[in-house]
Structure formats: structure tokens, C-alpha cells
Homo-oligomer: A and B are copies of this chain.
Amino acid sequence: MKKILFIILDGLGDRPSRDLDFKTPLQAAKKDNLNYLASKGIVGLLDPITPGIRPGSDTSHLNLLGYDPFKVYTGRGPFEALGLGMNLKPGDIAFRGNFATVDRDLKVIDRRAGRIESGTEKLAESLNMKMDDVEILAKEGVEHRIAVVFRGKGLSPKITDTDPHEENVPVKESRPLDDSGKKMADLVNRFTRKSFDILDSHPVNIERRNSGKRPANIVLLRGAGVVPELENFEKKYFLHAACIVGVPLISGICSLAGITPLKIKGATGTINTDMNAKIRGAIDSLSRYDFVLINIKATDIAGHDGNALLKKEIIERADRAMEPLRDILKDTVIMITGDHSTPCSVKDHTGDPLPIMIVTDGIRSDNVTSFDEISAVKGSLRIRGSDVMNLLMNYSDRAEKFGA
């Protein structure tokens, strides 16, 4: 049985770019190591969900790891909270929220509290509380954004939003959508009122008023979802599993699945992440783990920035960092792909397929000698995200036989 190294170059796939003489960044990049690995392995195109579906990083990683996002992705709230680094537990009810400005009658004046930019850490902190037997956790996001998590027994996401989604109307009362939501709706309404009581007189807001800014004096909630109970990854696949991931959303998903996040010095989830450290760290970890997932976020960041030259450079850096992978093919199955395309011409995720390779000694190479979107068309793989773990289990000699 071999080890499995699962490398995600986030947002890897792209479209032809004017700045690169109508090549994709991956086509244009000098990438001797990726090409070497591709030439030794099997290559093809991957639809992270199904053809044409525009994946989020969350739904894609879930599917790639063998969790059907159509079943476990129950709402934005839990994944927004994971993305902020909150430590969630299955059964928690999580919401996306806004700090907003209301008047004395709780009429919404500004859904974004004057696009508040600072002080939200303290505001969020003041909202952590216990209500009856339920624990409430709050964490600020970017600008006016906040995530709020309710932890306790008898909770359900089957309620309506308090966010009216428009201004100059009162904050909405949350209503249960079915019997399971009664307790939750009551808690949410009390929390909303309480958030006004706490925030309206909070020092941060007193200072905002003094400098003529709108107070962030209430929290509006939406997108309730229950944190899913993911079947434990280690039990599902009999793999002792770790991940090296800078992005909170993805490490949060790994944690929920029981994949241990490892800290590697220099691995940051930013453009300047130390890719050598990440790859070396992953190779070292394979002595202790059967499965190591690496996510390199920098490619996606360049895609969102619409910077094809930068994306090409980042791919070249990643390629150089992959040099040591040539030496571990005997005992390791290496998969390299992305979680979705983030074309520089679109500056956002698209549903375009992306190249994938799986390589290990003894695999039936399909003679594709370049790792890019166009060459991948000639490879032997034409798969969906939900196929990936099955392929890796097969090529690492770990798959159980289905039948006799």
C-alpha cells in the first residue's frame, strides 16, 4: 500500500489569456516538474462537481474528498463561519450576518453600518453569550460581515431570516418554517434584541457616533444552516490523514472530516506562502500519515485579481517547489489538480473543467507530456470530483473490492 499526496492548486484552471499570447497561465508557464510528473502518470480533465457547475472552494473540496455537497452543503452559514476560522461542531446552527444600523424602533437605516471597517472584533466579542442552555458564538468577518453560531440541544435551521434584505423597514422577526424551528426562532429573536441592547451602547459605537459615523448597533442574520456531520475521513477510507492548508474555510472542512491540520512554518495561504516549506512539510508528514492534503491558495488569488502573468509566475514557483516529488513516486500516489477554474478573464470561479494528474511508479502512463488544460484533453481521465478518492484508493492499492 502506498501513501497518498493530494495537491490542490486552488483555482488552477483558466482560459486563454490575451496577456499570454492566448495561452492559459498553465500552458504558458515553465513547469518542468509538472510536465515530468504528467509524462509518468495519467492525465485528464476534471469537473469538480458536474460539467458546467460553478463550484465554491467548499463544495469542491467536499466533493473531491468524497462527501456529496448536494447532501452535506445545507446553507452558506456554516461554511462562512468555518471560513472565519470558527471551531464548529456537527449540529451547530450557523448564520451569516451583517452589523447594521437601526433606529430606536429597530428600523433598518443602513444594512452595512456605514460599511464599518474597524472595531468589529470587539463588537463581535461582546456578543459571545449563553442564552438558556444554548451557547452563542460570534466572529467578525470582512467589513460589516459577521458569523453567529448557536450550539446546544433541540436547534434547527428551519427558520426565516431576521435580515429584511432592504432598508427603511423594521428588522424582521424570525419565524419557524416547521415545528423543529420553534426554539431556534425564539432564540434568534431574543439574540437580535439583545445584540441591539449590547451594541447600541458599546464603546466602539459611542466613538463612531462621536465621529459622525453610523453605529453598528444590531446584527441581522440570514442563511441558517446546520453544521453537517461528515463521516470521519480516516474511518471512511482507513487512512491516517493530515492537511497543510492556509485557508480557514478549507482547513475547517478538513477538521470537520477528521483530517488533522498541520502547522508548517511559512505556509500562509497568501501569495507569499513558502511553497518549498509546504511541499517539504507534506513529504515529511507522509512518514506519519497515509494521506496528506495540500492546498496552495496563491493561484486562485491571482485568478481573482485577473493577473495572468502573476498566475503564471505562481505556477512556476509551485513547479520549482515540486522538484522533490520526483523522488517519492515509488511509495506515493501523487494527485495534482485544482478545486475549480478561476480564469483571469473572469476574475471569479467558473464551471470550466480543469487538468488533473495522478502519478506513481507502475501506473499506466497515457503519454501526455504537458500538464495544462489543452493537453489534458488527450489524456485518459474524464472524471468528476466524486471519482477522485476512488481513483486514489485504487492506485495506492488500498481499494476494497466491490464484489467477489
Contacts and interface: CB of A to CB of B under 8 A. Distances in A.
Interface of A: 14-16, 24, 45, 49-60, 69, 73, 76, 79-80, 83, 249, 345-346, 348-353, 362-367, 373-374, 377-383, 387-395, 397, 399-404
A370 B281 CA distance: 44
A16 B56 CA distance: 38
Contacts of A59: 402-403
A368 B215 CA distance: 59
A240 to B, nearest CB: 20
A115 B179 CA distance: 60
B380 A55 contact: no
Contacts of A60: 403
Contact of A362 (B57, B345, B380): B345
Contact of A402 (B55, B249, B348, B394): B55
B382 A382 contact: yes
Copies in the complex: 2
8 contacts: A15-B362, A15-B364, A56-B401, A57-B403, A73-B402, A80-B404, A345-B362, A364-B374
Q: Is the interface of A mostly helix, strand, loop or mixed?
A: loop
Given A79-B404, A351-B391, 18 more contacts: A52-B387, A52-B388, A53-B394, A53-B402, A54-B401, A56-B404, A59-B403, A60-B403, A69-B403, A76-B404, A79-B403, A80-B404, A249-B404, A345-B362, A351-B390, A351-B399, A352-B364, A378-B378
B399 A52 contact: yes
Contacts of A380: 45, 353, 377
Contacts of A56: 401-404
A310 to B, nearest CB: 19
In this complex, which of A51, A73, A379 has the most chain B Cβ atoms within 10 angstroms of its Cβ?
A51
Nearest to A80: B404
B394 A54 contact: yes
A157 B392 CA distance: 33
Contacts of A45: 380
Nearest to A391: B52
A54 to B, nearest CB: 4
Nearest to A381: B51
Contacts of A54: 394, 399-402
Contacts of A363: 15
A58 B346 CA distance: 36
